[in-house]
Structure 1
Amino acid sequence: MFTSIDYDKFRALRVTHVATRLEELLRDEANDDLTPEQLFLTAVDDTLEQRRLNKIDRLIRQAGFPIPHATIAEIDYREGRGITPVRMKRYANHAWRADATNLLIVSPTGGGKTFLACAIGIAACHNEHSVTYARMDDLARRLVIARHDGIKHQQLLNELSEVDLLIIDDFLTVGIDSDAASDLFAVLANREHRAPTMIVSQSGPAYWVEALPDRVAADSIVNRLAHHAREIKLGSVDMRKTRDEEARASDGHWE
């Protein structure tokens, strides 16, 4: 078995986890028929897989999803929602870095937009894409605060510009000021033809043009978002109301 001196060497080579896993495999009598080479390769494969899983967990935490356990598998495909398992499977396996096409998710309040956005975003993390989730009002607030420090402001703009998939939820549910609109324009201009943005909103592009404070900037922002985009219209099924009714009908419900 390995000594403390051995582990010092492994740490210097940054293969401590491989050594630990190999030692576990060597101690397991079930592996007595395997060659040292087979055990070593198994330890390497197991370590790489664990690193991949750790990276996925880190990407999901860093993204800031409000529903961190949302999955494509739990999406409700009932009639009237406008989505199908085949279409969602495509989004689950999508190579976001290779395709700068934006995604617009639009439905009335309660339609399940946020859950769907989180499920797609988490699937992107499982494919090892970096993702940032932000509500529009919170993002606008962060941008305004960052403006008091030029370096932090530029760092935030860079982070939003460079992430593989940027998700902006509750887009223009409330108004934003001209400074925030200017920053949004800068981010979208930087991402155009390079990286996709997912917009989640109760309204469509026609309303966005009217809601943004500057008409010239509004035309440019909406043009960048809507004219190179796929769109999911979730329909009028109120999933929030549906889930509440299902919860009330369950055996364990009480008030």
Structure 2
Amino acid sequence: MFTSIEYDKFRALRVTHVATRLEELIQDEGNDTLTPEQLFLTAVDDALESRRINKVDKLIRQAAFPIPGATVAEVDYRDGRGITPVRMRRYAAHDWRSDPTNLLIISPIGGGKTYLACALAIGACQSEHSVLYYRMDDLARRLVIARGNGIAHQKLLNDLSNIDLLIIDDFLTVGIDSDAASDLFAILANREHRLPTMIASQTGPAHWVAELPDRVAADSIVNRLANNARVINFGQIDMRRHRNGICQGE
């Protein structure tokens, strides 16, 4: 089979995975009827799929989801939640780059907004979109820390402005200061019409305006998020209480 010298050549060409898979296929007696061309093309397809899986896994890790195993298949679609499996599967497979429409998930406490946001965004990762997840309080804190270093601050703003899909969870559950609001405005202004933002919140746009320190900036921020956005409005079902009730019943 292939020698170490030959593998050095494959590494130079960056096709080591193809060579390794081809060697495995050749050694498998079940493939004796396949032509060399069929074996080679199968090895290429398998190597490409392996590379895609590794890329998706990396995207999911880099996104820093609080629920990295969330899937739309496991979402509770009971009546009263305002969502359907067909609609959520469509959102999970959405091409966020070609259609940068924002998505707002409005849910009461315990309504499952974080799980759904993670499930949809993991679907985005599986379509090879880059994603970043932040809770609003954590994002504001990171911006404050970065502000002490001009280069680090600008890098963070650039990263948040250019990620394919930005998720901000618990949006304006508590107010933010004027510096954080200024940074948020800059991020959303840079993303507008280019890249989508997913917001998960217990409240809606009217409340967000009241929580921001400057009315003019507040209107600009909320308009950029809410104008023409898709909206998922959960009902009043408390999924945490429902899950706790099931556990107690068991």
Same fold (TM over 0.5): yes
Deviation at 1:247, TM superposition (A): 1.9
Q: Percent identity?
A: 76
Q: CA RMSD in A?
A: 0.6
SS at match of 1:34: coil
Deviation at 1:46, TM superposition (A): 0.1
List aligned pairs for 1:213-232, cutoff 5 A. 213-232=213-232
Q: Which residue of 2 aligns with 1:154?
A: 154
Cα deviation, 1:4-61, whole Å, max 9, x if unaligned, reads 1101111111111110000000110000111111101000000000000000000000
Deviation at 1:245, TM superposition (A): 1.3
SS at match of 1:232: strand
Q: TM-score, normalised by structure 1?
A: 0.97
Q: TM-score, normalised by structure 2?
A: 0.99
Instruction: Give distance in 2, aligned partners of 1:26 and 1:86.
Output: 43
Instruction: Give distance in 2, aligned partners of 1:26 and 1:95.
Output: 38
Instruction: Give distance in 2, aligned partners of 1:232 and 1:18.
Output: 44
Instruction: Give distance in 1, aligned partners of 2:160 and 2:175.
Output: 20
Q: Which residue of 2 aligns with 1:24?
A: 24
Instruction: Give distance in 2, aligned partners of 1:137 and 1:112.
Output: 19
Cα deviation, 1:179-210, whole Å, max 9, x if unaligned, reads 00000000000000000101110000001001
Instruction: Give distance in 2, aligned partners of 1:136 and 1:55.
Output: 27
Tell me the amino acid that sits aligned with residue 185 of structure 2. Answer: F
List aligned pairs for 1:179-198, cutoff 5 A. 179-198=179-198
Q: Which residue of 2 aligns with 1:95?
A: 95
Deviation at 1:107, TM superposition (A): 1.2
Deviation >3 Å, runs of 4+ = none
Mark the runs of 5 or more structure 1 residues left unpaired by the alignment. Answer: 251-255
Instruction: Give distance in 2, aligned partners of 1:124 and 1:83.
Output: 18
Deviation at 1:249, TM superposition (A): 2.3
Deviation at 1:248, TM superposition (A): 2.2
Q: Which residue of 1 aligns with 2:233?
A: 233
Instruction: Give distance in 1, aligned partners of 2:228 and 2:195.
Output: 11
Deviation at 1:246, TM superposition (A): 1.3
Instruction: Give distance in 2, aligned partners of 1:62 and 1:15.
Output: 25
Q: Which residue of 2 aligns with 1:253?
A: none
Report how many residues are paired: 250
List aligned pairs for 1:1-255, cutoff 5 A. 1-250=1-250
